[in-house]
């Protein structure tokens, strides 16, 4: 069984709406000039790097924006200039949400299980409801349809619509799940990280007694949602842990676990202020990994004295993407911001010393994504299949030399270079963005009408 990546291509309506609750980068960059063309090319450049490393890489095109169906449900018709202008003037958050391009972050789109870990041997994808955010909740149905199309020939992968989009069931997908696995037989364990335990927070299946609620920002994942998602994924109960985020981390801007912890194979990299009751939780996770997979889990815990929580959030070190190369060694793809931070550079040297399999560290520029709160790992959804099953996935979603060359040319020639939110009052710009999105759904046959 192999790991492969599915990235989301950023759309032409990419803007800084400041809609990410608890996301410091998103909130602080609200109303800045955005660069949709650069944003899409940056994401595509990361995909190209993974492709050149020999990693199976797929992409999903951006859903059409503005989302006319969603707007109509809240009482607006964007094809009516007066109505669209009224939406902008009196309901700017709705206006921005209808144009939201945050579906680039595929790590939020769904949760994934590998068949080797499941009760019936079948892999599954559960689409995230993203109910914590006004602008992202509309993506659930769109991503479900795309993922069904991507896997429609697969008998080994089941796509499941998200759990109900209710506040107590808010779910943000793989950004709050770490899968740790044995590279020899690929069997793994799953660490589900939640922020709000609610009434469901009891000592069960490794979930610890809840701490106080965060004081500055609401949490984006609930324990009940994580439990229900794990149930839908059909993972063996003995391979699951539920761990609560530390409230200090949430208040510092750790809106998803992948901002403060990451994992790859049998290696866990985590900040010391990531989880509530962290020493006990790490001990439990290690014991489960050893019991289930027959080998020791390697953990590197970075102390606050080594790297301040605020610096970790600012640079997105823990949102780096680790991949296994053909020779068995690893490469770590870090945001360019990590290269500009002396404390992070020091930590990277220590990481390589502790984990010798990380032979190479590369830095990727994702300036536009980072300004909205997303690094390399945010841009991809990890999935698992055999080599034959991966080959059978539809070619139109595959990243290869042909698709990369076409997409780069198309984006460079058609995407807006810069936009502010009010620019989308222009009907010509909106129509062009809709044409771009429609074209990308069938990119190999795209031609200007």
Catalytic residue numbers read 172, 256, 378
Cα gap 362→352, rounded to integer Å: 13
Tokens of 438: 């429609």
Token pair 């790859």 in the structure block, residue: 264
259, 316 contact by CB (below 8 A): yes
Give whole-number Cα distances, 417 to 13, 39, 56, 82, 434, in Å: 11, 10, 30, 26, 16
Pairing, β 57-60 against β 177-181: unpaired
Beta strands in 80-183 (DSSP E): 110-113, 123-127, 157-160, 177-181
Q: How far apart are CA 81 and CA 427, in angstroms?
A: 8
The dihedrals phi and psi of 201, each to the nearest 5 degrees, come to -80, 90
Q: What does the DSSP assignment read for 1-12?
A: -EEEEEEEPPPT
Least Cα distance to 374 among 13, 20, 11, 6 occurs for 20
Buried b (16+ CB within 10 A) or exposed e, 305-316: eebebebbbbbb
- List 145's β-bridge partners, or say none: none
Residues 195 and 220 sit within 8 Å (Cβ to Cβ) = yes
């Amino acid at each position: 069984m192999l790991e492969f990546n599915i990235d989301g291509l950023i759309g032409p309506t990419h803007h800084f709406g400041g809609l990410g609750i608890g996301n410091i980068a998103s909130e602080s960059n609200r109303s800045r000039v955005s660069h949709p063309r650069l944003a899409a090319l940056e994401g595509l450049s990361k995909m190209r790097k993974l492709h050149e490393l020999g990693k199976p890489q797929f992409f999903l095109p951006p859903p059409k924006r503005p989302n006319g169906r969603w707007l109509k449900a809240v009482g607006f018709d964007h094809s009516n200039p007066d109505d669209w202008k009224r939406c902008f003037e009196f309901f700017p958050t709705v206006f921005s949400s209808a144009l939201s391009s945050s579906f680039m972050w595929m790590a939020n789109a769904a949760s994934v299980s590998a068949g080797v870990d499941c009760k019936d041997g079948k892999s599954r994808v559960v689409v995230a409801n993203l109910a914590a955010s006004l602008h992202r909740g509309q993506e659930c149905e769109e991503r479900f349809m795309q993922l069904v199309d991507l896997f429609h020939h697969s008998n080994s992968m089941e796509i499941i619509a998200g759990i109900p989009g209710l506040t107590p069931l808010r779910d943000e997908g793989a950004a709050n799940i770490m899968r740790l696995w044995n590279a020899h037989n690929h069997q793994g364990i799953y660490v589900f990280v939640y922020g709000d335990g609610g009434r469901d927070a009891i000592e069960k299946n490794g979930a610890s007694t809840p701490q106080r609620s965060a004081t500055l920002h609401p949490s984006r994942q609930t324990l009940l949602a994580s439990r229900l998602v794990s149930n839908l994924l059909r993972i063996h109960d003995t391979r699951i842990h539920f761990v609560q985020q530390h409230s200090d981390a949430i208040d510092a801007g750790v809106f998803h676990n992948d901002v403060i912890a990451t994992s790859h194979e049998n290696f866990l990299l985590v900040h010391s202020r990531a989880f509530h009751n962290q020493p006990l939780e790490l001990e439990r996770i290690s014991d489960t990994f050893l019991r289930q997979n027959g080998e020791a889990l390697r953990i590197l815990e970075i102390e606050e004295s080594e790297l301040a929580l605020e610096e970790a959030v600012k640079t997105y070190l823990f949102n780096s993407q680790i991949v296994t190369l053909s020779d068995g060694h690893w490469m770590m793809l870090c945001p360019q911001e990590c290269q500009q931070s002396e404390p992070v550079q020091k930590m990277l040297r220590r990481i390589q010393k502790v984990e010798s399999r990380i032979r190479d560290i590369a830095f990727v520029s994702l300036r536009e994504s980072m300004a909205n709160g997303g690094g390399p790992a945010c841009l991809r959804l990890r999935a698992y299949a055999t080599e034959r099953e991966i080959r059978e996935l539809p070619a139109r979603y595959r990243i290869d030399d042909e698709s990369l060359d076409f997409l780069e040319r198309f984006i460079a020639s058609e995407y807006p270079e810069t936009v502010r939110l009010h620019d989308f009052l222009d009907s010509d710009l909106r129509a062009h963005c809709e044409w771009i999105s429609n074209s990308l759904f069938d990119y190999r046959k795209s031609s200007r009408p």
